Chains A and B, each alone.
Chain A
Amino acid sequence: MVNPATILVTGAMVGSLYVLIAIGFSLIYGVRGVINLAHGAFIMLGAFAYLVAGGQVSGVAAFVIAILFVGLFAVGLYLGLVRYIEHNVVITFLATVVVALIIQQLLTLEYSLAPRSLEPIVSGGIAFAGTRVRYYQLIAFALSWVALGLLFLFVRRTTLGRNILATSMTEKGAKLAGTNVLYVNVATWFVAGAFAGFAGVFIGTLQSTSPTMWINPLGLAFIIVTIGGVGSIKGSIIAAYLIGFLETMTVTFVGPAWRGMFALLLLVVIILAKPEGLFGREFIE
């Protein structure tokens, strides 16, 4: 007999990870209308940065370094490349995916294709709700909510955060209101990169790290944001947990090989029924 509590708990763990994967992508797509296909590579960089830093400093410090590194890298990508091409959707698409491939190849040269597991900060776990839950997963779950809470406060309470929100609705309007759009963009990319780095550390530890690990999270992020609705952070969160739970149920009842397929099926259903996603809204330009 399957313990429903197990599904609940496992689904929540998976969902929290998926939220982290999707948030950065959602921010850039929702706020700037830019589809950043290098997002999966950001996640990958988070994992590898943690690997490298973990060799020098303690786990917690390495974690922080990884997040900052990817945040800054994202800003660099924006300033160095994306801001010159973001008006051209097709070129941005292609250029960001090529960037991801370059990063993949560089990491392959340095670290080889063999997947590796990263050392979690805290190892071990407890028996909980009929299954064994690793401490690290609980930490990831808790921290993801902390991060979301901080994001919420940032967007609602700070000037910069409100500017980001305003710019996402209408760039012309925001410019007229005197917002420094470049500054807003830089901040958005930093936050998106930081979340990606965050996700990368946990994925690298809880699953595995390799130079090809950017592809699946990218697909997943895209799916979650599409289902949740472009421009809606709330939608991304709900969609992430929805997929987390439903996928866990599929794996439990049908089989582990079908894990990735499930999200796709849900995507097809949503796209056909409600293409703007669960909580999508129109852009005013």
Chain B
Amino acid sequence: MSKSVTSVTEESAYGYGIPLFDTRVNLYQGGVLAVLLVSLVTVPVWAPPWAYLFALANIWAIFAASWDIISGHTNYISFGHSFISGAAAYTTALLTFNVNPDMAIYITFPLSVIVAVVAALVFALPSLRLSGPYFSLLTFVSVLVATKAVFIFSTYTNGEMGISTVSVLTFDTTMLFYYTLVPAVIITGALLYISRSNVGKVLKAIGQNEAAVEAAGLDTTRFKLWGFVYSAIPMGIGGALLAHFYGNVEPIAFLIVDRSIEIIAIAAVGGMGTILGPAGAAYLFLFLRDEVFKAFLGPNARWVAIWSVVLVLLVLSPQGVLKRLWTFLGNLGGDSS
């Protein structure tokens, strides 16, 4: 990876400080990021009761970042990402339920990821030639169809109850946290690299003005398709991980359109197009959902509070709350931004 300087002059739109993936991060941003990372990595040390929650959040960070690399960049809003991760999860589940309960994870896992990529291409291929709303529609409907299919074929999928023959990663919450943290960090790092690279910039350009990208000699359909693949691989990994996390795969936790909307809400609140924003927002969202709001309002009423907060944030801060915070920290350095 070439370590290029973003600008000939010292002061650039990105600020002073340490080069990071072709961006400059100033001392405040770097500092806050470092503190957060260290806190995250040591969660089982200073907050062991929350290890399970943060382990789950690791997986949702993967989902949010994966959604972001395609939809957050190109503005083709996919409502179908739960279909992709769900396809991976159900592959693992179907294999253990219908074929061999002891099937090795090193077989089911890669197969699940491959199925996830295929699933993504199935709805991406016909719809990416079209403009935004039609694309979103197809993705929305594909989740509905997949959910219906689970019920139609319930002899294989065990319908609403779900399949519980999936092996659990571990019952030790600390190990669980680290088993999910490592993929989360690696995937977020990889997606961040893609985002900052020329390819990521093309995807972002598509989101701003697709016709101009065509005029630049770039095959936008091909870029969008590969963006989908770059998104689907980690979605598949996350989906399979989630299956082994719960040990149980059923429509409510994996597939229904509510889960897709959660992913989108997390990414939008974090800041579409930033990878780190959506990943960070996942932790925030899950913490609010499963700790704070659950404690104050109970498992049912908390949803009203969550969605209301999301709505307020979407309207007041459409760029994303975490992105705003990041820009604020960037401005503290006292340079142009």
Contact = CB atoms under 8 A, between A and B. Distances in A.
Contacts of B315: 81, 84-85, 91, 95
Given A95-B311, A271-B126, A226 B144 contact: no
Nearest to A259: B148
Nearest to A88: B318
B212 interface: no
B307 A102 contact: yes
B77 interface: yes
B308 A102 contact: yes
A98 B141 contact: no
B94 to A, nearest CB: 19
A89 interface: yes
A91 B148 contact: no
Interface in A84-127: 84-85, 88-91, 93-95, 97-99, 101-102, 105-106, 108-109
A254 to B, nearest CB: 12
A95 B257 CA distance: 15
B301 interface: yes
B138 A267 contact: yes
A109 to B, nearest CB: 6
Contacts of B75: 90
Contacts of A91: 268, 314-315, 318
B88 interface: no
Contacts of B303: 101, 105, 108
Contact of A268 (B132, B138, B265, B272): B138
Nearest to B130: A275
A95 B132 CA distance: 16
Contacts of B142: 264
Contacts of B300: 105, 108-109
A131 interface: no
Contact of B141 (A81, A257, A264): A264
Nearest to B309: A98
B328 interface: no
Interface string A213-228: 0011011001100100
B261 interface: yes
Interface residues of B, number: 37
B62 to A, nearest CB: 21
Contacts of A95: 311, 314-315
A219 B77 contact: no
Interface of A, helix, strand, loop or mixed by DSSP: helix
B318 A226 contact: no
A222 B314 contact: no
A81 B140 CA distance: 23
Interface residues of A, number: 37
A268 B139 CA distance: 11
Interface string A66-91: 00000000000000010011001111
A213 to B, nearest CB: 13
A35 interface: yes
Given A102-B307, A105-B304, A215-B257, A94 B137 contact: no
B225 interface: no
A215 B144 contact: yes
Nearest to A96: B311
Given A105-B303, A105-B304, A105-B307, A219 B144 contact: yes
Contacts of B138: 267-268, 271
Given A91-B318, A226-B137, A261 B130 contact: no
A109 B126 contact: no
Contact of B134 (A97, A101, A271): A271
A272 interface: yes
Contacts of A173: none
A4 interface: no
A130 interface: no
B174 interface: no
B126 A101 contact: no
Nearest to A258: B152
B205 interface: no
Interface string A224-267: 00100000000000000000000000000000011011001001
B314 A94 contact: yes
Contacts of A223: 137, 141
A93 B152 contact: no
Contacts of A101: 258, 261, 303, 307
B264 interface: yes
Nearest to A108: B300
A78 B304 CA distance: 20
A90 B268 CA distance: 10
A260 B311 CA distance: 30
B307 A260 contact: no
**The 7 residue pairs across chains A and B that have the minimum distance between CB atoms:** A105-B303, A102-B307, A105-B304, A98-B311, A257-B152, A101-B307, A91-B318
Given A93-B77, A102-B311, 11 more contacts: A88-B318, A91-B268, A91-B318, A102-B307, A215-B144, A219-B140, A222-B140, A226-B137, A264-B145, A267-B137, A268-B138
Interface of B: 75, 77, 126-127, 129-130, 132-134, 136-138, 140-142, 144-145, 148, 152, 257-258, 261, 264-265, 268, 272, 300-301, 303-304, 307-308, 310-311, 314-315, 318
8 contacts: A84-B315, A219-B140, A222-B140, A257-B152, A267-B141, A271-B127, A271-B130, A272-B126
